[in-house]
Amino acid sequence: MPPDCPFQHLIELLKDNTGKKFYNVAKLGGSKYDSLPYSIRVLLEASVRNWDGFLVKEEDVMNILDWKAKQNDVEVPFCPARVLLQDFTGIPAMVDFAAMREAVKNLGGDPSRVHPACPTDLTVDHSLQIDFSKCAMQNTPNPGGGDPQRPPAKLSPLKAPRKLPCRGQAACRGPCDGESSRNSGPLSVQIENTPLLCPFHLQPVPEPETVLKNQEVEFGRNKERLQFFKWGSKMIENVSVIPPGTGMAHQMNLEYLSRVVFDVKDFLYPDSVVGTDSHTTMVNGLGILGWGVGGIETEAVMLGIPLTLTLPEVVGCELTGTASPLATSIDIVLSITKQLRQAGVSGKIVEFFGSGVSQLSVVDRTTIANMCPEYDAILSFFPIDNVTLKHLKHRGFDEAKLKSMEAYLKTVKLFRNDELSTGEPEYSQTVHINLGSIMPSVSGPRRAQDRVAVTDMKSDFQACLNEKVGFKGFQIPPEKQSDVVPVEFEGNEYKLAHGSVVIAAVISCTNNCNPSVMLGAGLLAKKAVEAGLTVKPYIRTSLSPGSGMVTHYLSSSGVLPYLKKLGFDVIGYGCSTCVGNTTPLPEAIQNAIMQGDLVACGVLSGNKNFEGRLCSCIRANYLASPPLVVAYAIAGTVNIDFQNEPLGVDPAGKSIFLHDIWPSREELHQVEEELVISSMFKELKEKMEKGNKRWDSLEVLESVLFTWDWKSTYIRCPSFFDKLAKEPLPIQSIENAHVLLHLGDSVTTDHISPAGSIARGSAAARYLSSKGLTPREFNSYGARRGNDAVMTRGTFANIKLLNKFIGKPAPKTIHFPTGKTMDVFDAAEAYQKENIPLIILAGTKYGLGNSRDWAAKGPFLLGVKAVIAESYEKIHKAHLIGIGIAPLQFLPGETASSLGLTGKEQFSIPFPQKLSPGMTLDVKTNTGKLFRVIAAFDNDVEITLYRHGGVLNYTVRRLL
């Protein structure tokens, strides 16, 4: 902090005798601060802490403090505490840092000073390619290598698994060669590409061969890239790489990387993050301000340049009331998502408050935060509270650290507490959601959109029996509606009726974002078994966990044996019952259904319930939450009123109702936090400490400068700094520039940036062929983002690009000195050889779409000096400035067409040395036309970056 900082007086010692310091921003504005939303308080603290008088000014701090009056009217800087990268977007950023070290060294500086200004975590597991599956491994003669000439046989979806030993699993207590109880043997379903199961204990059989083989191929395919990442993690300060085989970006962000409160040299400040992963918003469920951005924004933050954002509106979402005991986490999450979508929160921050917030676990909160794209909010913020601290304790946070964290957060008023009587922040608008209004429901009997409240299920089913045949009708004559058909099965007699459940499948493919609903099904099963309840043996029951995370929930909580006792055996991890992959019903059951013309039912927790999909003799199919699937299986019918009718009777003859065995939310959260979460983080910590043998064995040269391999086609030192001087040159005017492309409205970053596979015959393909690669080895542009030669050739290579010079979609343009039609890169290369500068003419909303770093880098390397457009997508305009391209804008009401421009002219644009934001510049063509454009710079920082030739050059010079 500079000695002249106007906020020096806010630094205090934490009153817990730890000697830790912090900025007490709560003292800055008094009652004005107290009325700020918590998310805005985090923005304020970051601006105070990062004040430098240039990038972050005192005026910026005051604007944030005056949020109530300034929202939507001013732009403010934000300096996140850290950056999260996944491997695809991390490659170009790390390549730029390695290249900057070369530039600093060449200009006489210390290259070791080139490193991110904030902690930067890069995860490598984002782009795993699956070359081997368990199914394929099972059918090869030798899983360790096999016969390469023999293709693996395809496993039939209904083929029973061959029995294999458990290979010494600790969970197994005996030989795994017997028959399991219900639904075993030939009636079990082996879903294609699922883990093999011990047929007796129904525990997943470890398949290390598949994991090891995929990792082996991955390390071989990406060895060069992985070595580069490892060099960066060892030699570049503030860079940490999460090795392959550990976890994806958003998973690691939640489970391992989140600090919640930073403690750097005994100075405390809130955790905040921007990341290139679209799921970054999940961390807001932990009270960490964060969202996803593009590659250039993250790189700018790494370089110490703050993000610029319009001071956003904040919508307060008040949660009140108590959720129905039968409402699951998914019910609550989807209901909140629906109501926020209806409230219109697009482009705003949503912040949760009210007594109902404490009913949501951290898992619930992160799920809601992850649903931001569904209601188009910037992020959904849950301030830190006692629920958060309890979660962090189970995550393994040190007790002393938690105490300091709590003391700090309460001092700076970033801790939400229902017990305090202090007023809530003031919000731009408030949305009220009563959790008590969220009613659990099922969908059916034929369509997912036909929702039925669980409390109305019996009456709705009976109404369906009466209605004409249709989506909600079966037209059963009244005198037939009470028919009962006796059936003998496995030596016992049972009775089937309309509404009898004959298939019950617990599937978590649509619940992986929140596995707690699966845990709820397990806890219900546990209580049911303990109460002596059973499921009739003719009901086809099954359990498909859907993901390893769900399996972890069920295993660590100890509920799997109880699910198994009720017949819900683990059948695999693929799409199963909901796509019709179910074992046929017993012949006796099918005959009874047809004999009585019964409306038999299937209940499943998937997302599809089309008629006849489960079985041709089943006419009613209901979608329900996993716990309700178990409940209806126990009841044996959907024609039941859970509130007034028992599920069954215990051995003593006592009636057992659903509310007797339904797990409360408190019970569910307790098991989730104390058993599941704690064991999950313990396992992750052990994995991180154990390391990855292949990663550890990768050899890299420990040198300050990266040793570039001139033969590499994946990683190459970019040419951004080839002509860089110590001091910035005077702003250069553009003389006699040709138009590379004449574009229309709404040209997106997808049109500009290289993406997808590399087409044969393209400029990039010709380049790779010249390096000795065959088309099969071209890979994708995404995989080669670290090679500027490939990426430049792929710029404007989109086949949907509509260049007015060509008149039809094609990645082509005209080289006007020769009049030849060429690939865009070939024309640009010819212009550069002739020392002719280039510009682009465009219509409205140039640069629309997702943030892409190469949508700016590519045009720059093609020789584009300026873009003249009618309007810009704001983020892309900032990217152009950040790379050194001038964003110029036609005057209001003027277009290339209205000015009579064909694009075939040559353009000269003089730039004054005292360039200022919004200045009007003259443009002259070689045909004598003269018109004016606006220099579309928004502030002095953007002028400074442009004067230096972009943020990379600015950073290099700042480090000299």
Segments in 843-949 forming alpha helices (H): 854-862, 874-883, 940-948
For the chain, the average pLDDT equals 85
Helix (H, G, I), strand (E, B) or coil at 259: coil
Q: What percent of the chain has pLDDT over 70?
A: 83
**Residue 538 reports pLDDT greater than 50:** yes
Summarised one tens digit per residue, pLDDT across range 781-828 is 988 999 999 999 999 999 999 999 999 999 999 999 999 999 999 999
User: Are the C-beta atoms of 604 and 578 separated by less than 8 Å?
Assistant: yes
**Would you state the pLDDT for residue 514?**
58
Taking the CA atoms of 611, 615, 616 and 617 in sequence, report the sign of the dihedral they define: negative
Q: How deeply is 695 buried, as exposed, middle or buried, from its count of CB atoms within 10 A (0-12, 13-18, 19+)?
A: buried
**Would you state the pLDDT for residue 316?**
97
Which whole number is the average pLDDT over 276-284? 85
835 DSSP 8-state letter:
T
**How would you classify the pairing of strands 930-935 and 920-925?**
antiparallel
Would you list the DSSP string of 566-601? TT--B--SSS-GGGT--PPPPHHHHHHHHHHT--EE
Is the preceding peptide bond at 151 cis, omega within 30 degrees of 0? no
Residues 6 or more apart whose Cβ sits within 8 Å of residue 119: 81, 82, 83, 238, 240
**Would you state the pLDDT for residue 138?**
35
**Residue 876 reports pLDDT greater than 50:** yes
Summarised one tens digit per residue, pLDDT across range 617-649 is 889 999 888 999 999 999 999 999 999 999 999
672 DSSP 8-state letter:
I
The dihedral over CA atoms of 156, 160, 161, 165, expressed in degrees to the nearest 10, equals -170
Segments in 35-127 forming alpha helices (H): 38-49, 58-65, 67-70, 87-106
Angle of helix 87-106 versus helix 223-235 axis, rounded to 10: 60
Which of these, 336, 330, 412, lies nearest to 377 by C-alpha position? Answer: 336
The pTM of this model reads 0.80
pLDDT band at 154 (very low <50, low <70, confident <90, very high): very low
Residue type, 702: E
Helix (H, G, I), strand (E, B) or coil at 530: helix
User: Are the C-beta atoms of 504 and 603 separated by less than 8 Å?
Assistant: yes
Q: What are phi and psi of 875, to 5 degrees?
A: -65, -40
**Would you state the pLDDT for residue 356?**
94
User: Are the C-beta atoms of 577 and 544 separated by less than 8 Å?
Assistant: yes
Is the preceding peptide bond at 445 cis, omega within 30 degrees of 0? yes
Summarised one tens digit per residue, pLDDT across range 466-517 is 999 998 999 999 999 999 999 999 999 999 999 999 999 887 644 444 567 8
**Would you state the pLDDT for residue 420?**
64
**How would you classify the pairing of strands 492-497 and 484-489?**
antiparallel
pLDDT band at 578 (very low <50, low <70, confident <90, very high): very low
In order of 55, 177, 408, 804, the CA distances from 263 in angstroms are 24, 55, 11, 56
pLDDT band at 253 (very low <50, low <70, confident <90, very high): low
Q: What are phi and psi of 566, to 5 degrees?
A: -90, 5
**Would you state the pLDDT for residue 156?**
31
Distance CA 837, CA 850 (A): 28
**Residue 181 reports pLDDT greater than 50:** no
**Would you state the pLDDT for residue 215?**
57
User: Are the C-beta atoms of 796 and 827 separated by less than 8 Å?
Assistant: no
Distance CA 128, CA 130 (A): 6
**Would you state the pLDDT for residue 169?**
35
Q: Which two tokens stand for residue 35?
A: 């009325």
Residue type, 614: L
Distance CA 559, CA 424 (A): 41
pLDDT band at 18 (very low <50, low <70, confident <90, very high): confident
Distance CA 299, CA 83 (A): 9
807 DSSP 8-state letter:
S
Summarised one tens digit per residue, pLDDT across range 644-667 is 999 999 999 999 999 999 999 888
Quick one: the chain helix, strand, coil %, rounded to 5?
35, 20, 45
Q: Which two tokens stand for residue 457?
A: 């299920």
In order of 86, 236, 301, the CA distances from 119 in angstroms are 14, 11, 10
Which whole number is the average pLDDT over 891-914? 96
**Residue 195 reports pLDDT greater than 60:** no
Q: Which two tokens stand for residue 846?
A: 């140039």
**Would you state the pLDDT for residue 374?**
78
**Would you state the pLDDT for residue 280?**
87
Distance CA 901, CA 907 (A): 11
Distance CA 818, CA 506 (A): 68
780 DSSP 8-state letter:
B
CA angle 403, 409, 413 (to 5 degrees): 145
